[in-house]
Structure 1
């Protein structure tokens, strides 16, 4: 019997969870549920894990993908569209219940329980649904990815030039944390068992504001950057038509609510849980900035969680 089924295993967070879970349990204990089963690398396929087709939009495919699992990881659906995202998560939770999975792990996000950020609303709805499901659950409020800093930092692209970064409403502190650290922590939680019906924040070990980030980025790229807080309308005008789907006005206005959450201090929360779990210092934000801004790290292509 497969002990663990992971969704989202080819994504930024899910791939890290899979990587570290393979170091903790036999590959024969792991299956992955993928919308596109051909998306796994040859190296991962060579480990011998079970690859199953599971589509959040096709509940019956999830029944087959989740069948026989003791533990299931639901990595949140990659969309900021509120109702769509909640429906996809609901489909997965309902399938989990139908096939008798014992323990469900859900990757939520690190904003507050009464968050004003649009990106958190589907997570909060999913958390409520999960708690009411009767299933044994663990909710993991994954911290804001260090690798996602361009999205928070005014869709920053060093190749575009310019010395001014525009954000709406307010700057604020964020307890940045790297995806590898989050992946390792999530894998350890799943492999160790326990944490039944608990919610845990997996944050970084210190905070940095966007203004502080500007100073660090300036030092790396060799030109001064200034952070400027502007109205929502000015923020939208500056970005509309750029950045692919993120340059559409409805997305920009939803994303602007993130900065209202920063003003409330929603991400200015350091929890020692993850560092204690890993038993070592977490990866510093400076290391991620250096990697990404000097071409040695991956570019973040979508919003964070």
Structure 2
């Protein structure tokens, strides 16, 4: 029988990802002792790395309620990041396992990392990427847990995949089916704000929305790319079918028509204003004005003129890669949360 581990104030799942890393870093910078933090991961071999830093490690197998109950023992606050399978039915079952295990293990508080499409309480079921998030929010509402659903803003860091921009061509024509405003936020700032939210009381059984301070049109980012990196890219708007066909034919990242057909539905949700809602909460938590989308993209390109985002590439660097679907994209982890 496995030896029970000492209780902890925080368990961070997905701590190896960008958002989880920022949350963990913020907790430590704000004086939370390493002994009060546990890191959860599906990859058991990472345990010794975290334990060498004085952190606890909990193996989180989302297929097993028993395994999750063991991981959740003695946890006051659980940060629960969405799993990265694109199979919505499978993902919802994994999330159901988390909610059930958290209830049975007596977790004090659950913070779920949802997605900021639809504002703070909207129900945009037509956006496929939101289906599992909305169902998980519902699971938590119907549970006996104390929860907070954190609708994280769309990552400014992922701008290359929204525009399908690559640094290789300085005069690239960015082909999109529509324009739309997005209240982009930097991932590191989202992680910092999320950690600070977890460190304070309040927001029990509520949805909260974390966003940048203003919504930015996708088309405005082309000008930022040009100004910040001395390029001459331009944007062209075409029909959905033309977008799908042309993008798949020219895509350096080897994404296929299935990907772009699904991606067009997300872009149209931006056109409908589903990601344009601005909330002041992120700035309140940070104690400063967060960067907006234009500032964030400029910063990223100043740091690296040839900035890339890993999810703009399917099987990056692999010659002859034939896969390029939205499913393969999601296996790398959703680019928003």
**TM beyond 0.5:** yes
C-alpha separation between the residues in 2 aligned to 1:151 and 1:157? 9
Is the contact between residue 117 and residue 258 of structure 1 (CA under 8 Å) also seen in structure 2? yes
Moved more, 230-239 or 289-298: 289-298
In structure 2, the partner of 1:134 is 144
Is the contact between residue 8 and residue 76 of structure 2 (CA under 8 Å) also seen in structure 1? yes
Which of these residues, 202, 225, 228, is aligned with residue 217 of structure 1? 225
C-alpha separation between the residues in 1 aligned to 2:53 and 2:267? 42
Is 2:33 the counterpart of 1:33?
A: no
SS class of match (1:240): helix
Is 2:232 the counterpart of 1:229?
A: no
SS class of match (1:51): strand
Is the contact between residue 163 and residue 226 of structure 1 (CA under 8 Å) also seen in structure 2? yes
In structure 1, the partner of 2:57 is 51
In structure 1, the partner of 2:135 is 125
In structure 2, the partner of 1:73 is 79
C-alpha separation between the residues in 1 aligned to 2:248 and 2:92? 27
Q: 1:230 to 1:80 in 2, by over 3 A?
A: farther
Aligned residues: 301
C-alpha separation between the residues in 1 aligned to 2:302 and 2:107? 44
C-alpha separation between the residues in 2 aligned to 1:234 and 1:220? 29
Which of these residues, 288, 293, 301, is aligned with residue 301 of structure 2? 293
Is the contact between residue 147 and residue 179 of structure 1 (CA under 8 Å) also seen in structure 2? yes
C-alpha separation between the residues in 1 aligned to 2:107 and 2:140? 13
Q: Deviations over 1:126-175 (max 9, x none)?
A: 1111111121100100001110111211x21111444311122x211111
Is the contact between residue 33 and residue 66 of structure 1 (CA under 8 Å) also seen in structure 2? no
Q: Deviations over 1:8-56 (max 9, x none)?
A: 00001111111111223111111011011434795x5443110121121
In structure 1, the partner of 2:284 is 276
Per-residue deviation at 1:83?
Answer: 1.8
CA RMSD, 1 decimal: 2.2
Per-residue deviation at 1:85?
Answer: 2.0
SS class of match (2:78): strand
Per-residue deviation at 1:259?
Answer: 1.5
Is the contact between residue 108 and residue 145 of structure 2 (CA under 8 Å) also seen in structure 1? yes
C-alpha separation between the residues in 2 aligned to 1:249 and 1:76? 26
SS class of match (1:288): helix
C-alpha separation between the residues in 1 aligned to 2:202 and 2:95? 23
In structure 1, the partner of 2:336 is 304
TM-score by length of 2: 0.83
Q: 1:41 to 1:294 in 2, by over 3 A?
A: farther
In structure 2, the partner of 1:172 is 180
Per-residue deviation at 1:256?
Answer: 1.4
In structure 2, the partner of 1:159 is 168
C-alpha separation between the residues in 2 aligned to 1:53 and 1:13? 19
C-alpha separation between the residues in 1 aligned to 2:51 and 2:252? 33
Is the contact between residue 224 and residue 298 of structure 2 (CA under 8 Å) also seen in structure 1? no
Is the contact between residue 292 and residue 299 of structure 1 (CA under 8 Å) also seen in structure 2? no
List runs of 5+ in structure 2 lacking aligned partners: 1-6, 312-334
Per-residue deviation at 1:204?
Answer: 0.3
SS class of match (1:96): helix
